């Protein structure tokens, strides 16, 4: 973390200086070593504002290119490579996951769907068809993001909470969510059974 913080403080930072650290930073996002928010022992969530700041630098120093798959984007972004050893199901090529997204074991993407940079999707969760997991969103274990659901991205302002969906939630209807959710503290939540598991419906 210290090397990234030092770079954020560096004056007159150049693209050539930034790119090697950016590559390592995205790998740390992919492996979960770095994330935009984390839950403390008392259950409260804390935002890592510096992570958002570093992602914003990635946009700043990127140059627009055309990738081999035909996509046109900044060269600092692009598609995340998903290895067979990760045990992640990407059911179709119409699923797109930007580089810099953590994917836990058993995560499933149904086509078409999309996950943006800085997102964290924990073990056993499903992103269903026509669903979006926005930038920096934090998705817990065994969550089902239902078809057509939009989990909004909160990259700016850097101090704002990303959308947080805790373990075993089921987004079962089409809607947009651009605010923090903490299912354990919402008394108005309803529960329903899905695939013999109990989920909380927001």
Query: What pLDDT score does 174 carry?
Result: 54
Per-residue HEC secondary structure of 128-189 comes to CCCEEECCCCEECCCCEECCCCEECCCCCCCCCCCCEECCCEEECCCCEECCCCCHHHCCCC
pLDDT at 130: 94
CATH number of the structural domain spanning residue 51: 2.160.10.10
The span from the CA of 52 to the CA of 57, in Å, is: 9
Q: Tell me the pTM.
A: 0.86
Which residues are registered as beta bridge partners of 176? 150
| pLDDT score recorded for residue 193 | 33
**Which two structure tokens, joined as six digits, stand for 108?**
């499933």
For CA atoms 135, 36, 72, 57, give the dihedral sign. positive
pLDDT of residue 172: 65
Query: Mean pLDDT in runs of 10 for the chain (202 residues)?
Result: 92 96 98 95 93 97 95 96 96 96 98 98 97 96 94 90 92 54 39 38 40
Please list, in sequence order, all residues whose beta carbon lies within 8 angstroms of the beta carbon of residue 40, skipping any fewer than 6 positions away.
Answer: 46
Q: Give residues with Cβ within 8 angstroms of 115, minimum separation 6.
A: 96, 97, 98, 101, 109, 121, 127, 132, 133
Query: What is the total residue count of the chain?
Result: 202
Q: Which region, left, alpha or beta, applies to residue 70 given φ > 0 means left and ψ of -120 to 50 means alpha?
A: left
For residues 148 and 173, give the distance between their C-alpha atoms in angstroms, rounded to a whole number: 8
Pairing of strands 113-115, 131-133: parallel
Residues spanned by the domain of 66: 2-201
Query: What is the predicted pLDDT for the residue at 194?
Result: 36
Residue 167 tokens, joined = 């373990």
Contact between residue 111 and residue 91 where contact means Cβ atoms under 8 Å apart: yes
Number of separate domains in the chain: 1
CA 155, CA 158: separation in Å to the nearest integer?
6
Residue 171: predicted pLDDT: 78
């Amino acid at each position: 973390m210290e090397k990234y913080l030092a770079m954020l403080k560096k004056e007159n930072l150049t693209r050539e200086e930034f790119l090697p650290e950016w590559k390592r930073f995205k790998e740390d996002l992919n492996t979960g070593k770095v994330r935009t928010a984390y839950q403390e022992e008392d259950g409260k969530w804390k935002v890592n504002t510096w992570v958002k700041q570093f992602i914003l630098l990635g946009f700043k120093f990127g140059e627009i290119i055309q990738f081999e798959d035909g996509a046109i984007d900044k060269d600092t972004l692009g598609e995340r490579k998903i290895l067979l050893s990760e045990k992640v199901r990407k059911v179709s090529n119409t699923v797109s996951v930007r580089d810099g997204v953590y994917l836990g074991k058993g995560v499933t993407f149904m086509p078409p769907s999309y996950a943006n940079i800085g997102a964290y999707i924990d073990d056993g969760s499903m992103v269903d068809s026509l669903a979006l997991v926005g930038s920096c969103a934090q998705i817990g274990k065994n969550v089902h993001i239902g078809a057509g659901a939009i989990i909004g991205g909160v990259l700016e302002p850097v101090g704002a909470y990303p959308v947080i969906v805790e373990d075993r939630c089921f987004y079962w209807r089409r809607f947009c969510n651009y605010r923090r959710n903490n299912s354990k503290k919402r008394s108005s939540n309803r529960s329903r059974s899905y695939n013999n598991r109990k989920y909380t419906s927001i």
